[in-house]
Amino acid sequence: MYRVIAIIVGGLLLAACSSTPSWMSLDALKPQPIMDNVRFESEPPGAEAKVSNGQTCVTPCSLSLAANGAYSVVFSLKGYQLESDNIELVSMGDGTSPVNSR
């Protein structure tokens, strides 16, 4: 009788693995990316800086971006041509992330 119960419970557990609800996923246990504040400035100040991940701010400003990521930034200000730049954050392993423009 115990074998039958064990087989039924095992079958139910296997069936549950294939249909685990999203609230039971283990994504919350995955490490979050390291974030770093990146400061944007323009001459003249007051330009909108729009990063490829959708974040925007008005210069001078700072945005929190994931380290070890590549982004493009578009600066716009009425009366001036659009200016774009590609940046890459590189984690140094000591908690700092210098920005490299490409």
91 domain-assigned:
yes
Q: How far, CA to CA in Å, does 69 sit from each of 13, 90, 99? A: 39, 7, 10
In a domain, 63, yes or no: yes
The whole-number pLDDT of residue 7 equals 77
Asked, for residue 17, whether it belongs to a domain, the answer is no
Per the domain annotation, does 74 fall within a domain?
yes
Domain containing 34 equals 27-101
Handedness of CA 80, 84, 89, 90 (dihedral sign): negative
Per-residue pLDDT of the chain (102 residues; tens, 9 = 90+): 777 777 777 776 766 555 556 666 666 677 777 888 899 999 999 999 999 999 999 999 999 988 888 899 999 999 999 999 998 887 666 555 455 454
- Residue 69 is predicted with a pLDDT of 82
- C-alpha Rg value of the chain to the nearest Å: 24
Assess if residue 55 is contained within a domain. yes
Instruction: Count the domains in the chain.
Output: 1
Note if the pTM is more than 0.75: no
Confidence (pLDDT) at 45? 93
Backbone angles phi, psi at 40, to 5 degrees: -115, 135
